[in-house]
Structure 1
Amino acid sequence: MTSPKLQFIGGGKMAEALLGGMIATGWAAADEIHVVEPSAERQAILSDAHPSLSIGDAPVAGVDAVLAVKPQIAPEVFPGLAAASVPRLLSIAAGITTAAIEAALPEGTVVVRSMPNTPALVGKGMAAIAPGAHAGDDDLVWATSILSAVGRVVTVAESGLDAVTGVSGSGPAYVFHLAEALTAAGIAQGLSPEVADTLTRQTLLGAATLLSDSGEDPAQLRINVTSPNGTTQAGLEVMYERGFAEVIDAVVAAATARSAELGS
């Protein structure tokens, strides 16, 4: 086999999204990517989507890798990565520090840690990356080029990744819960479930797109839609009275703290 350009250790949904985005954007051809995945079901899914993809049960020696396994599985794959002398590793395994990964691999191995989120599955992801002890600017550019195939990327110190987890890593779940609540509220006001669901989905999509594309501060966008003594003001006043901002602050703080606990 010709030496691949990159290999994925783990072929789950996030790996599938990343490699699909990389192929679509021309980062690599399917036959330039190797995937280590033990599940026959996942192998079949990946092969069906990308027939020329290389799939095996062991890492290829001397090839950069993306660690895309569940955190509890990571210690099981470290020996294989060490034996393969992987020169550079981008980890998307939650809660595992660069120091822990570096300790399991040969001295000098470049490690970049990332916290992506699930909207990467539709090419709208948000990821943060943090360098390990041996990672330089070129390595951050490399990691960014991979993750930007499915969304946006920012660089932070590793100490900031817990807060990143609290905001963008877990953030999609907060938005989905808001969608649940908004839909239920619409139904409570007499809308059919189908109409309430459609209104909620399109409202969240439209608001997110406006926030992203307009470049306006979110506070200004809120002001723009809030007429004095109008319907929006009536709804927002309940959010202020009930402490909506304080709830969000507590939610993010709890998720951040839990991320720190898992990484300790």
Structure 2
Amino acid sequence: MQAEFSIGIIGGSGMLGRAIALALLRSGWPETRLWIANRSGSRAGFEDHTEVTLTADTQALADACDLVLLSVPPALVGDLGIHAPDRLIVSVMAGVPAARLSELTGARRVVRAMSSPAAELGLAYSPWFTTPEVTDADRARVTALFTACGLTDRVETEAQVEIFTAMTGPVPGFVAYFAECMADYAMGQGVAPDVADRATRQLFLAAGQMMATGADRPGDHVQAMVDYDGTTAAGLRVMRNSGIAAGVVAGLDAAIAKTRSIGS
């Protein structure tokens, strides 16, 4: 990847910030065009990337970089300590509105986004929303940033970013819970724990690959199994008539509500 601009990540030693930084480096981003700010300026986690600039001075990072990515815990957003009115500000902090980001940094070109630690593997889904002042060139830069992390889309509203914060941010989160239920079921039927664990991991790996690479949507896969009318169809019919779907909706609603309150 050829970089014509520099990226600075405030909070780049945290789980999400570091995952995004490593995704950039894996994609070929030049080390000399990447800055990382953390509280101590420690190089821990980036020892093999000697040309990446590590600093504890967030303002120095903002002064040096064209795109400033904010990846600190939302509770610490008030401690950012940067003034960057002429910079492109991109935030992956849950629950912090674009208006608040503009107020804190002085920037008008603000992007509110979400990603996940799966970025390190190139498997994150990163939706993003922009303020009106964000330019076409800015959008190209944001696309380049998040394409290095996996798949990305620009969405129309901040509310949609909040939806994906709850849905796709907590990888593996909700999907892991369903896998846990299935593994627990197998163990309850006498299957050895290591066998149940291995079988469940492989099932979700295969299902994820099939849904990610094929043209069929998740609902298409479900209906195909129902139409086949075999053993899986018997289970799916019971699940469809149970409260599972309502429970998923309630869980996502709760996560979105938390997202909307966490940065306030």
Instruction: Please give the residue correspondences for 1:222-237 in structure 2 after superposition, counting only pairs within 5 Å.
Output: 222-226=222-226, 230-237=230-237
Question: Cα–Cα, structure 1 residues 136 and 66, in superposed 2: closer, same or farther, change >3 Å?
Answer: same
Specify the alignment match of 1:21 in structure 2: 23
* 2:19/2:117 contact within 8 Å kept: no
For residues 39 and 186 of structure 1, what CA distance do their matches in structure 2 show? 47
2:101 is aligned with 1:96: no
Q: What SS is found at the alignment partner of 1:203?
A: helix
Would the aligned equivalents of 2:227 and 2:233 in 1 still touch at CA under 8 Å?
yes
Question: Alignment partner of 1:216: what SS?
Answer: coil
Aligned equivalents of 2:191, 2:235: Cα separation in 1: 18
Please name the residue that 1:34 is paired with. Answer: 35
RMSD across aligned positions (CA): 2.1
Q: Distance in 1 between matches of 2:111 and 2:165?
A: 16
- Asked whether 1:202 is paired with 2:202, we answer yes
Q: Tell whether the 8 Å contact from 1:62 to 1:86 is kept in structure 2 after alignment.
A: no
Counterpart code for 2:27:
T
Call closer, same or farther: CA 1:37–1:140 in 2, change over 3 Å.
same
- For residue 113 of structure 1, give the secondary structure of its aligned residue in structure 2: strand
How many residues are matched?
A: 254
Q: TM-score, normalised by structure 2?
A: 0.88
SS at match of 1:44: coil
Structure 1: runs of 5+ lacking an equivalent: none
> What is the aligned-residue identity percentage?
25
Structure with the higher fraction of residues in helix conformation: 1
Per-residue displacement from partner, 1:87-133 (whole Å, max 9, x unpaired)? 11111111111100111223x54111111123223220011101024
- Could you say if the C-alpha distance between residues 30 and 245 of structure 1 is closer, same or farther in structure 2, counting changes exceeding 3 Å? same
C-alpha contact 1:66 1:91 (8 A) present in aligned 2? yes
Q: Give the CA deviation at 1:191.
A: 1.1
Partner of 1:251: 251
Q: How far apart, in 1, do the equivalents of 2:33 and 2:118 lie?
A: 25
SS of 2:43's equivalent in the other structure is helix
Runs (5+) with no aligned partner, structure 2: none
Mapped contact 2:162–2:260 kept (Cα < 8 A):
yes
Note if contact 1:65-1:86 (Cα within 8 Å) is conserved in structure 2: no
Offset of 1:247 from its aligned partner?
1.5
1:12-71 residue CA offsets vs partner (Å, 9 max, x unmatched): 122222121112212x2112211111246x63222x231221111113315221111111
- 1:112 is matched with 111
Counterpart check, 1:127 vs 2:135: no
Contact preservation (8 Å) 2:74, 2:263: no
Cα displacement string for residues 163-206 of structure 1 (whole angstroms, at most 9, x for unaligned residues)? 22232224631101111111111111221111111111111111
- Shift of the 219–6 alpha-carbon distance from structure 1 to 2, 3 Å rule, reads closer
- CA–CA separation in structure 2 for the residues paired with 1:90 and 1:24: 20
1:218 matched to which residue of 2? 218
Report if aligned partners of 1:31, 1:53 keep a CA contact under 8 Å in 2.
yes
Q: Which moved more, 1:243-252 or 1:181-190?
A: 243-252
Code of the aligned partner of 1:38: R
